[in-house]
Amino acid sequence: MPPPAYFDYSQSLAAAWDVWSSTVAGRDTVERVARQRLGALQAFACAQSPFYRRLYRGLDAGECALASLPPVTRTELMAHFDEVVTDRDVTRIGLDAFLEDRAAIGTPFLGRYAAWVSSGTTGEPSAWLHDGHALAVYDALQLLRFRSTSVPRVGERFALVGATGNHFAGVASIERLRHLQPWLAGGLRVFSILEPISVLTRTLNDYRPTLLATYATACCELADEQACGRLRIAPREIWSGGECLSDKDCSHIESAFGCRVRNEYGASEFPSIAWQCAHGSLHANTDWVLLEAVDENSRAVPPGTASHTVLLTNLANRVQPLLRCDLGDSITWFEQPCSCGSRLPALRLEGRSDEALVLRTANGQAVKLLPLALTTVLEEQAGVYRFQLRPNGSGRLVLDLDLGCHTDAPRRCRRALLRYLRSQGLANIRLTVRRRALQPHPSSGKLQRVSR
Ligand SMILES: [Zn+2]
């Protein structure tokens, strides 16, 4: 069977109808359609993916309960990329060549797949492909669930403040929309998180976004700018994702901007995992994505218990099947249904906890450096993914690099980081770069790459 079209109106309409139907259906109906989709995905993966065929050898994967299948990690999926994918035209070499071309951000790989890169919570780079059917489902989930209470309006100006310059899911999704719907392009803009806050403030003031989407830590910094009057925008809603947003930070942002903040839980493996309802709960889109909250041994933990990690199964995407993929996040399922009345189960997300650093310029002025900006500088400009960065006093930063890093990595990191610090007015900061064994969190095994 040929892969689905990259974009097709009838496919989008069918996905929208399906998502709407499940939104109003009972929980039993949602669970039934998810079970059917899972059975079909398992059968498809075994038939078309040599990796899953080998992994499930001896198991009747079409009949097995999900929990009895072996989980997979991002590292395994990347190491066996060519065997995981189900389209034999797709190769890692071909994809890497496409991803090297930054002018291609948001355009389809091989004319039919969205291609995104991410570094995940373990600090390992990974590449993800999504077919046209999956993209239609993601669009429908975004429009009918996440945006259900926020109907798009004429003259809307959308601003994404995030990592740019590579095929990241956020910027690539905006560019895809610009290519597919040129009439929307004037109302969609991306702002680089690497810009000094004074530049970001000025360009946002000029653009006057009506919707602002960004990361929790960036949102807090922009709220500080708004509260002291340098930033003067009036968004009618702010969307936060990518990092955990505490209740305290949420209140600070809402009071600074005088509008509602809505949170979303997503990943490059599935961009709309869960959306925040009007009652503040994150509801998982369990008709299209399955989440298993598990302990260290991949055994389910009961509702009300924070998981060690979460295993994700993407029921929408066939080109790079994801079955029980370890995301590294910690979630807690609610024990009681949410009072908003949604039939979709609610969860709380923990972790994703890199921290903003505050350093001082030579004349004592405090400058906040966002974790996403620092990790983007080191990943994109120095090509390093496994590191730990922390301040040592107010005038020094210490960067530890993995022992296995390239011999040239310390020099590249030093150059990239010092250049970034200078752009932020922090030429006075001294930087120590060392090669040593990194220290993942003792219980979670996650690498906190930026800490205070
Ligand atoms: Zn709710």
pLDDT tens figures, 157-173: 999 999 898 999 999 99
Distance 45 CA to ligand 1 centre (A): 33
Distances (CA, A) of 285 to 16, 298, 322, 344, 409: 13, 21, 16, 7, 41
Local confidence band at 151 (pLDDT 50, 70, 90 cut-offs): low
Place of tokens 């980081």: 417
pLDDT in tens, 401-448: 988 888 899 999 999 999 999 999 999 999 999 999 988 776 556 678
Under 8 Å between Cβ of 124 and 172:
no
Distance 295 CA to ligand 1 centre (A): 26
Q: Of the candidates 375, 443, 369, which has an alpha carbon nearest to the alpha carbon of residue 413?
A: 375
Instruction: Report whether pLDDT(63) > 70.
Output: no
Local confidence band at 352 (pLDDT 50, 70, 90 cut-offs): low
Summarize the confidence of residues 186-201 as an average pLDDT.
92
First to last CA, the chain: 52
pLDDT in tens, 377-402: 998 889 888 899 999 887 899 999 98
Distance 349 CA to ligand 1 centre (A): 14
DSSP for 335-377 reads SS--TT--SS-EEEEE------EEEE-TTS-EEEE-HHHHHHI
**Per-residue pLDDT at 291:** 97
**Per-residue pLDDT at 154:** 77
Distance 24 CA to ligand 1 centre (A): 14
Instruction: Report whether pLDDT(149) > 60.
Output: no
**Per-residue pLDDT at 120:** 58
Distance 210 CA to ligand 1 centre (A): 25
Distance 134 CA to ligand 1 centre (A): 25
Distance 281 CA to ligand 1 centre (A): 5
Distance 333 CA to ligand 1 centre (A): 13
Distance 276 CA to ligand 1 centre (A): 7
Instruction: Report whether pLDDT(123) > 80.
Output: no
Local confidence band at 200 (pLDDT 50, 70, 90 cut-offs): very high
DSSP conformational letter for 276: E
Strands 346-350 and 282-284: antiparallel
Local confidence band at 52 (pLDDT 50, 70, 90 cut-offs): very high
What is the Cα–Cα distance from 423 to 360, expressed in whole angstroms? Answer: 14
* Helix, coil or strand: residue 173: helix
Distance 353 CA to ligand 1 centre (A): 24
Q: Of the candidates 350, 321, 372, which has an alpha carbon nearest to the alpha carbon of residue 446?
A: 350
Summarize the confidence of residues 312-325 as an average pLDDT.
98
Distance 275 CA to ligand 1 centre (A): 9
**Percent of the chain scoring above 70 in pLDDT:** 95
Summarize the confidence of residues 180-199 as an average pLDDT.
90
**Per-residue pLDDT at 318:** 98
What is the Cα–Cα distance from 213 to 159, expressed in whole angstroms? Answer: 6
**Per-residue pLDDT at 221:** 87
Distance 188 CA to ligand 1 centre (A): 29
CA neighbours within 13 Å on the CB side: how many for 314? 29
* Helix, coil or strand: residue 316: coil
Local confidence band at 354 (pLDDT 50, 70, 90 cut-offs): low
Distance 212 CA to ligand 1 centre (A): 22
Summarize the confidence of residues 252-281 as an average pLDDT.
93
Catalogue all structural domains in the chain, each as residue range(s) with its CATH number.
Answer: 1-352 (3.40.50.12780), 357-435 (3.30.300)
**Per-residue pLDDT at 321:** 98
Distance 85 CA to ligand 1 centre (A): 36
Summarize the confidence of residues 90-113 as an average pLDDT.
97
∠ CA 251-255-258 to the nearest 5 degrees?
A: 125
Distance 268 CA to ligand 1 centre (A): 24
Distance 339 CA to ligand 1 centre (A): 6
Distance 341 CA to ligand 1 centre (A): 6
Instruction: Report whether pLDDT(310) > 90.
Output: yes
Distance 280 CA to ligand 1 centre (A): 6
Distance 345 CA to ligand 1 centre (A): 8
Summarize the confidence of residues 265-287 as an average pLDDT.
93
Distance 318 CA to ligand 1 centre (A): 30
Per the prediction, the chain carries an average pLDDT of 91
Query: The sheet that has 270-276: what strands, in order across it?
Result: 188-192, 158-162, 211-215, 237-241, 260-267, 270-276, 282-284, 346-350, 330-333
Instruction: Report whether pLDDT(174) > 90.
Output: yes
Distance 149 CA to ligand 1 centre (A): 12
What is the Cα–Cα distance from 273 to 291, expressed in whole angstroms? Answer: 9
Distance 347 CA to ligand 1 centre (A): 10
Distance 18 CA to ligand 1 centre (A): 20
**Per-residue pLDDT at 39:** 93
Distance 444 CA to ligand 1 centre (A): 28
Distance 312 CA to ligand 1 centre (A): 21
Instruction: Report whether pLDDT(325) > 90.
Output: yes
Instruction: Report whether pLDDT(121) > 70.
Output: no
**Per-residue pLDDT at 150:** 60
Distance 343 CA to ligand 1 centre (A): 9
Distance 282 CA to ligand 1 centre (A): 7
Summarize the confidence of residues 274-300 as an average pLDDT.
93
Distance 315 CA to ligand 1 centre (A): 23
Q: Which of 146-155, 156-165, 346-355 has the lowest mean pLDDT?
A: 146-155
Instruction: Report whether pLDDT(348) > 70.
Output: yes
Distance 279 CA to ligand 1 centre (A): 5
Distance 151 CA to ligand 1 centre (A): 18
* Helix, coil or strand: residue 446: coil
DSSP for 112-131 reads TBEEEEE-TTTT--EEEEE-
Distance 34 CA to ligand 1 centre (A): 20
In this prediction the pTM is 0.87
**Per-residue pLDDT at 152:** 66
Q: Of the candidates 5, 174, 171, 167, which has an alpha carbon nearest to the alpha carbon of residue 95?
A: 167
Instruction: Report whether pLDDT(23) > 60.
Output: yes
Q: Of the candidates 8, 68, 58, which has an alpha carbon nearest to the alpha carbon of residue 38?
A: 68
Identify any residues that bridge with 246 across adjacent strands, giving them in sequence order: none
